[in-house]
Structure 1
Amino acid sequence: MKLSEQVQKVLTKIQNIEVPEGLRPWEAGRIFYEKFIPLAGEKEPVFKIDEKELTNDGHPVRLRIYRPTNHDRSPFIIYFHGGWFNAGNLETHDTPLCQLANLSKTVIIAVDYRLAPEHAFPAGLNDCEFAVKWIIENASFLNLDPTKITIAGDSAGAALAATVTRKFRNNIHAQLLIYPVTDNSLETPSWKEFQNGPLLDLKGGIQAWDWYLSGSADRGNPDAVPLLADDLQNLPPTFVAVAEYDPLRDEGILYAEKLKTNGISVNLKLYKGTTHGFFQMGGFIDDAKVLMQDMAEFIKNQNS
């Protein structure tokens, strides 16, 4: 394994993160993940940031809207954060989304959905679908262009993005999946090769899926496990990013290949020397900036 020097330094920083004792495992995991925030670097100013709170079935669903310009009827991205379905929030992805909004000159709406294990599948997905439906119905009120919607996410958020795109395919202009979670078998060659990391490991993967899919009947549900989906026709152009030393690498590639066999235009890119999570590490890892540029170029091409 030939990790870049920058990635190795970041992994050393992560290994030295301390979390208070006495917490439940998922609570400790959330604090641990939130301590990644400084790795993204300095937060860029954005022209305007608004927040809205919706209510889905009695539960709050917060939205954070990044507007890089004051243009009317802007194209926009609806973004779902990563965190193995049990961690992450609007703050964990705030800095990279500011950067992506400015770079792509595209409005980004981040969705804060419910997390497992307190809220197992399909609670988080339901929040995401509810938010997308509300945003589409209120696009004019939000001064957005409802004909140019990109659905995006990283890791577990990319799994949610893939399912949302399938369900709203007639409304979605493009999708953008960053090292997506697509398969709960955890048996791909990359899972076997990197079962002990870096960053993600097999034990954590098993635990994450157990928390997320509390019912055995859901383990074969394509809405939870994107690689199991067979209705992949007529989906929008898709960008898929995978990291070379990531246990999720092969399932991301498999999903991209399955999309291609269904006639979908796919831009698949492998980022060498990197590991999972590097999208959020742009303050230390140059490849995060390369990924940002690639994403922005893809978005601009789809919206032109």
Structure 2
Amino acid sequence: MKLSEQAEKVLMKIQHIEVLETLSPWEAGRAFYEKFIPLAGEKETVFQISENELLNEGHRVRLRTYRPNDQDRSPFIIYFHGGWFNAGNLETHDTPLRRLANLSQTVIIAIDYRLAPEHPFPAGLNDCEFAVKWIIENASFLNLNPNKITIAGDSAGGALAATIAGKFREIVNAQLLIYPVTDNSLKTASWKEFQDGPLLDLKGGIQAWDWYLPGPAHRDNPDAVPLLADDLQDLPSAFVAVAEYDPLRDEGILYAEKLKTSSISVTLKLYKGTTHGFFQMGGFIDDTEVLMQDVAEFIKNQNSL
């Protein structure tokens, strides 16, 4: 197998993205990531999109809700965006979340959490936990079903989702992890194979973890590094997606296997010929739709239990 022609074309487009040279490294990374938005294709119309703003210890936490229908007490997904813990926002994931809401016919609530390096761990995780608690406590007001909850995220958002799913395991039904970050060692076979990319590289991975965990205090904290978690009993069923040409591939697989050893029901899917980030590349990569369909089916099955 080799990288698909569609993925190759997207990577060529990404290589031509330019950002201002006057920006700080993390600001440049955010600007670069935001220029991925057109790769997701056209934005679908969703029945209703609304926003809320919460204050967590004086810090603003924005929520965007995608409601695909007028169903009462809807099942819902709480979603944490990717971006190596230092980039990404509600806009970078708006297009794919619109599509996923419509396909799954499930409400999606996206969380805009604080980012490193200005706000290293555990600031972003605290925002996510605060928002989830608020959503659950206000489920009736929000016309949501508190007995049908999925926690989801991609890449760094997958790390946050894995940890949050553990913290709320008594009430969460499912977890959806799309090429999740789970390990800060950066020593798996896929990191060695793809240390120079495509898309992610080892230098960037080291920098991202240094910004997120700037001191030694949290380097072994399972809340930051899901693969280090040992308390995996009674976690919700999981869908784990990994991309073939992704340095994060093996750590996603390792986390899925670790869940299985704790008797957690896991659906693990490898998307061949694809690279990291393809969830946001639906305008160019057909396998994005395959992933969307697989995820929608998983969510519908979980909601039917």
TM-score range normalised by the length of the shorter chain: over 0.9
Residue type at the aligned position of 1:73:
R
State the alpha-carbon separation in 2 of the partners of residues 214 and 207 from structure 1. Answer: 10
2:267 is the counterpart of 1:262:
no
1:215 shift after superposition: 2.0
Alignment partner, residue 41 of structure 1: 41
Alignment partner, residue 87 of structure 1: 87
Matches within 5 A, 1:150-189: 150-189=150-189
Deviations 1:116-147 (A, max 9, x none): 00000000000000000000000000000000
2:125 is the counterpart of 1:125:
yes
Alignment partner, residue 6 of structure 2: 6
State the alpha-carbon separation in 2 of the partners of residues 87 and 280 from structure 1. Answer: 14
1:21 shift after superposition: 1.1
1:214 shift after superposition: 1.5
State the alpha-carbon separation in 2 of the partners of residues 130 and 171 from structure 1. Answer: 15
1:171 shift after superposition: 1.2
Alignment partner, residue 250 of structure 1: 250
**Which 10-residue stretch deviates more, 210-219 or 124-133?**
210-219
2:98 is the counterpart of 1:98:
yes
State the alpha-carbon separation in 1 of the partners of residues 171 and 181 from structure 2. Answer: 23
State the alpha-carbon separation in 2 of the partners of residues 89 and 28 from structure 1. Answer: 14
Superposition TM-score, scaled by structure 2 size: 0.99
State the alpha-carbon separation in 2 of the partners of residues 303 and 80 from structure 1. Answer: 20
Q: Which segments of 5 or more consecutive residues in structure 1 lack a partner in the other structure?
A: none
State the alpha-carbon separation in 1 of the partners of residues 92 and 114 from structure 2. Answer: 15
State the alpha-carbon separation in 2 of the partners of residues 100 and 44 from structure 1. Answer: 10
Alignment partner, residue 211 of structure 1: 211
Q: Which segments of 5 or more consecutive residues in structure 2 lack a partner in the other structure?
A: none
Residue type at the aligned position of 2:170:
N
State the alpha-carbon separation in 2 of the partners of residues 106 and 291 from structure 1. Answer: 16
Deviations 1:18-70 (A, max 9, x none): 10111100000000000000000000000000000000010000000000000
Residue type at the aligned position of 2:287:
D
1:102 shift after superposition: 0.2
State the alpha-carbon separation in 2 of the partners of residues 198 and 129 from structure 1. Answer: 32
> SS of the residue aligned with 1:272?
strand
> SS of the residue aligned with 1:92?
coil
Alignment partner, residue 272 of structure 1: 272
Residue type at the aligned position of 1:64:
R
Counting matched residue pairs gives: 304
Residue type at the aligned position of 2:35:
K
Matches within 5 A, 1:59-70: 59-70=59-70
> SS of the residue aligned with 1:220?
coil
> SS of the residue aligned with 1:197?
coil
Alignment partner, residue 195 of structure 1: 195
Superposition TM-score, scaled by structure 1 size: 1.00
State the alpha-carbon separation in 1 of the partners of residues 69 and 215 from structure 2. Answer: 45
State the alpha-carbon separation in 2 of the partners of residues 136 and 281 from structure 1. Answer: 31
Alignment partner, residue 229 of structure 1: 229
State the alpha-carbon separation in 1 of the partners of residues 179 and 301 from structure 2. Answer: 21
State the alpha-carbon separation in 1 of the partners of residues 264 and 215 from structure 2. Answer: 32
